[in-house]
Chains A and B, each alone.
Chain A
Amino acid sequence: MSDLRDPLDDLLSDVPTYVVPDARAAWAAGARRRTRRRVGVAAAVTVVVALVAGAVTWLPRTVEPQPADGEGVGGYPARVLKPLVARDLPLAPGPMAMVFQRNGEDIYGWWVASPRGHAWPVPQQDMIDSYPPALSADGRMLAYLHTPTTYVIRDLTTGDSTTFDSITDGLESREGQGEWVLGPQNPSFWSPDGSRVLVRGSSWSRDSPTTALVLDVDGTVTELETDGFPAGWVDDDTLAFVQDRAELDGKPPAELVLVRVDGAVERRITLALPRAAAAWTSQWSSSVSPDGEFLAFVADDGQVYVFSTEDGARRSRSFVPTSDTCLPSWQDDFPALVRTSTLVGHSGEVLTAFDSRLEVVCAMAAPGALAGERHVGLAQRWFGDGWVAFNLPLAVAIAVGGVVVAGVVLLVIRNRRRRVHRLG
């Protein structure tokens, strides 16, 4: 093997005489390459930063919901994600777009969602039943049973709240701790001006005929004795109730009763509703539109009727299989309904899609939110309604983790090969 060394030495002995390295030129060339590389890296970083900055600043601006009046909610989310960590609702998070109910195997409760799709649980402690919160038309005011003995109206833009210590849940042992019992599993309705909320409730006093309460943001409570299910407000001073007459004479099967805030009945309007549909009237059947002109009635068989509140005439009827324990929302005088984790508009288009992990069974949007712009997030814009759009943090984590694992594996393989070579 060593035979070659001497002939090679002999062949190469005079080479250095003719091949003379130029150290200065080599150093200058190396320096130029270093500079070029640094400039290239700096340019690449600048381009990436510019692209990211452009994506963050320019794209969202085109989809940012604009408040309708500068104060209230101005849009609604195209999707609502399950937060990685459920945080407490901030004191003044700003106007909200909707309230929604989760009902899964291990989770139950009411949440609120912002126009951009962030979600927080409504702070309701130790409830013995479901007490749905209510969001005002402009999304600023949230009314809810906070504790078993405290009802709260909170201004979400200022953090101010009005507390009603005289309203309790329905646990029998609460008798004596409050004056009124809030109706469980009943929706509440805000007046169009956001100054009063209509709730279903009764008095702890057994001989009281109270059926509903009007709670003012100034803390006053007005008792009502109107039969039927609350359906909303026709204007700032007139309430709407729907009475099922199927079990009475059935002529007519159902009536819309307009009541002043002081309890006086203003008008009774016959609803052109089939008797079979009227027989299944519940607290979740009826909802008055934000302008008070229409009443939506969701029948048990999936038929959705829309009546005029002026004369009870039927404006439309459509078939929309929906939750029977959720109130219709309103968008442009048309009811929007919940169907399999989505809030759908009157023509069937998806307004808001909820993360399936939230297990949403009901969503009630503020009319002001649905009158505004639909906020589509970047992830949804890029990935549509696929899994990645709803799990972007997880997808990024998986991708980064995959790259890291692949890098580590390659590193281990390379090191093993080198070790084998060294030992071989």
Chain B
Amino acid sequence: MNRGVEDFEEWVHARGGALARSAYLLTGDLHLAEDLVQETLARVAQHWKRVSRRGNPDAYARQVMHNLAIDRWRRRSVRPPELLTDSHPEIGHGGPDVERRMVLRDALAQLTPKQRAVVSLRFYEDLTEVQTAAVLGCSVSTVKSQTRDALARLRRIAPEEVLR
């Protein structure tokens, strides 16, 4: 088998879970997250030779995924709306933890795609503001303002979940 394919599959095996979590955080839906992950992986595969040579496919995948998520929102007016399912097995079945997750998930869904991307990069990927700005191709001040607005909205909708 081609060495490139093997390396790629090995990398997907190692990083697939993290990518899936980020995708879910960006979309708020399992099906959309699955689509986003596959599209991201296809783009990484398209440029795998160059990306792997640079030695940092994670960074490239992160950049592609977050920009795809924002682009999807930008293209929403020319694409038919996705039909989302009411079933959320990833959240669990009953209990206070499930309720808390639901509130947080719904609160995240109220953010704009760019705000979700900023939240994902800053509070889940643990990137600095400068690194976040570099991934999203915007200025640091934009990252700061998006972060401020996102946190304000989250605190308003789900104060207990965010400020626990």
Interface size on B, residues (CB 8 A): 51
Given known contacts A11-B105, A15-B90, A27 and B162 CB-to-CB distance under 8 angstroms: no
The smallest C-beta distance from B36 to any residue of chain A, in angstroms, reads 9
Question: Complex: how many Å from CA A362 to CA B67?
Answer: 68
Q: Are A7 and B162 in contact (CB under 8 A)?
A: yes
Q: Are A7 and B164 in contact (CB under 8 A)?
A: yes
Contacts of B30 in A (CB 8 A): 15, 18-19
A30 in the interface (beta carbon within 8 A):
yes
B123 in the interface (beta carbon within 8 A):
yes
Q: Are A26 and B34 in contact (CB under 8 A)?
A: no
Contacts of A25 in B (CB 8 A): 38
B101 in the interface (beta carbon within 8 A):
yes
B12 in the interface (beta carbon within 8 A):
yes
Please report which residues of chain A, range 402-424, place their CB below 8 angstroms from some CB of chain B when the two chains form the complex: 417-418, 421-424
Q: Are B20 and A8 in contact (CB under 8 A)?
A: no
In chain A, what residue has the closest Cβ to B122? A1
Please report which residues of chain A, range 1-53, place their CB below 8 angstroms from some CB of chain B when the two chains form the complex: 1-12, 14-27, 29-31, 33-34, 37
Q: Are A19 and B34 in contact (CB under 8 A)?
A: yes
Point out the residue from B34, B42, B119, B123 that lies within 8 Å of A30, measured CB to CB: B42
Q: Are A7 and B44 in contact (CB under 8 A)?
A: no
Interface centre among B12, B20, B46 (most CB of A within 10 A): B46
In chain B, what residue has the closest Cβ to A10? B101
Contacts of B123 in A (CB 8 A): 1-2, 4-5, 8
Please report which residues of chain B, range 1-51, place their CB below 8 angstroms from some CB of chain A when the two chains form the complex: 5, 8-9, 12-13, 16-17, 19-21, 23-25, 30, 33-34, 37-38, 41-48
Please report which residues of chain B, range 107-143, place their CB below 8 angstroms from some CB of chain A when the two chains form the complex: 119, 122-124, 126, 129-130, 133-134, 139-140
In chain B, what residue has the closest Cβ to A422? B130
In chain B, what residue has the closest Cβ to A15? B24
Question: Complex: how many Å from CA A157 to CA B153?
Answer: 88
Q: Are A424 and B130 in contact (CB under 8 A)?
A: yes
Q: Are A27 and B8 in contact (CB under 8 A)?
A: yes
B72 in the interface (beta carbon within 8 A):
no
Please report which residues of chain B, range 75-91, place their CB below 8 angstroms from some CB of chain A when the two chains form the complex: 89-91
Contacts of B46 in A (CB 8 A): 29-31, 33-34, 37
Q: Are A24 and B38 in contact (CB under 8 A)?
A: no
Question: Complex: how many Å from CA A26 to CA B61?
Answer: 13
Q: Are A30 and B101 in contact (CB under 8 A)?
A: no
Question: Complex: how many Å from CA A8 to CA B22?
Answer: 10
Q: Are B38 and A22 in contact (CB under 8 A)?
A: yes
Q: Are A6 and B38 in contact (CB under 8 A)?
A: no
B157 in the interface (beta carbon within 8 A):
no
Q: Are A27 and B9 in contact (CB under 8 A)?
A: yes
Q: Are A12 and B24 in contact (CB under 8 A)?
A: yes
Point out the residue from A1, A9, A19, A34 that lies within 8 Å of B37, measured CB to CB: A19
Q: Are A31 and B45 in contact (CB under 8 A)?
A: yes
Q: Are B21 and A27 in contact (CB under 8 A)?
A: no
Given known contacts A23-B12, A26-B45, A421 and B162 CB-to-CB distance under 8 angstroms: no
Q: Are B101 and A6 in contact (CB under 8 A)?
A: no
Question: Complex: how many Å from CA A37 to CA B23?
Answer: 27
In chain B, what residue has the closest Cβ to A1? B123
Given known contacts A7-B104, A11-B105, A12-B21, A27 and B140 CB-to-CB distance under 8 angstroms: no
Contacts of A5 in B (CB 8 A): 123-124, 126
Given known contacts A3-B163, A422-B130, A8 and B25 CB-to-CB distance under 8 angstroms: yes
Contacts of A424 in B (CB 8 A): 129-130, 133, 140
Question: Complex: how many Å from CA A23 to CA B40?
Answer: 11
B97 in the interface (beta carbon within 8 A):
yes
Q: Are A17 and B48 in contact (CB under 8 A)?
A: no
B100 in the interface (beta carbon within 8 A):
yes
Give chain A's interface residues, CB within 8 Å of chain B. Answer: 1-12, 14-27, 29-31, 33-34, 37, 417-418, 421-424
Q: A7-B164, A15-B17 are in contact. List 16 more A-B contacts (CB 8 A).
A: A3-B163, A5-B123, A5-B124, A6-B164, A8-B123, A11-B25, A16-B17, A20-B16, A25-B38, A29-B42, A30-B45, A33-B42, A33-B46, A34-B46, A417-B139, A421-B133
Q: Which 10 A-B pairs have the closest CB atoms?
A: A30-B45, A26-B41, A19-B20, A29-B42, A16-B17, A30-B46, A23-B12, A12-B21, A4-B123, A21-B16
Give chain B's interface residues, CB within 8 Å of chain A. Answer: 5, 8-9, 12-13, 16-17, 19-21, 23-25, 30, 33-34, 37-38, 41-48, 89-92, 97, 100-101, 104-105, 119, 122-124, 126, 129-130, 133-134, 139-140, 154, 161-164
> Could you name 15 residue pairs across A and B whose Cβ atoms are closer than 8 Å?
A3-B163, A7-B104, A8-B124, A11-B105, A14-B92, A15-B21, A18-B30, A19-B20, A21-B19, A23-B9, A26-B38, A26-B42, A27-B8, A421-B139, A424-B140
